[in-house]
Structure 1
Amino acid sequence: MLRTLLMSLGLIVGVAGPAAAADKVDLKVSIIFASKKPGPVDPALARIRGTLEKSFGGFQSFKELAKHKIELPLKKTRQIKLPNDQTAGFTYEGQAKDQEKIRIAIPKSKVDVGLRVQRRKVFYQAGLRYNDGILILALYLR
């Protein structure tokens, strides 16, 4: 009987563990300015330089303009101000298999996209015009 009780408790704890972990995620957002004009790559971007240059091959210089750490509770939206006087909203929509569902909305630019991403991998949302280039949001989910 004790063995059955312990096994049942183990199953309950095993089921409750992942659900509790999915109640929120931590999102790191780096706002990057990319230009087609020749120039340096900001040393602050050293860890992602290779993927930036590969993903955005038409651009020659990259500068980190701002960095944010955001806690995203399930189904709640958190916003950050962008350098182009727009606001980006991030919503954690839960899990789908081994991926997390994140929604990014930038209403003034008519951006509203749902993404499925893996934790601990950098992903990008880009294309907003800014000065003589674009803004790139480098996102990392923990």
Structure 2
Amino acid sequence: MRGFAIIAHVFAPHIWKLGTLRKDMDIEFICSNLLDNSNVTLDFSKFPKILLTFAVVGTINSKYWEVVFELESVYDLAVNLEFFKDASPSDAYLVLQASVEKVDNEENGSYHISVGHGGDFNFSAKSVGFKYKAIDMPLSEFKSKYGYFFE
């Protein structure tokens, strides 16, 4: 397993929220409070759509959290993953920094998403369209999905 944590600076006015998300959580709050010390997995199966799924390490406000970023139509993609002989592309990576910014000089409603830690994992992409959701989970559901946190 590989992992990564997030620090975010966000300028994205057209972002939506899904699921059991608390309505008072905007992307800046989520990135700075939930994703700082999280693991992420990357799903390229529907490229040019990419899903980043973050599992928050520990609890925030006595709850376990999962956060999903949906990059709707990705272009200008750069991914640096250092694989080890026992690693796979579906491994989780530790997040140390991330940002989501509205790209002002492009008229197509683009966002620049950057996640990584400057070492063996870095992800950067521009996307026409960006969505996110944060879901609080009961311990039993979180354990069944992210059991490796409890080993």
Pairwise TM-score range, normalised by the shorter structure:
under 0.3
- Structure with the higher fraction of residues in strand conformation: 1
TM-score calculated relative to the size of structure 2: 0.26
TM-score calculated relative to the size of structure 1: 0.27
**Quick one: higher RCO (CA 8 Å, sep 6+), 1 or 2?**
2
- Structure with the higher fraction of residues in helix conformation: 1
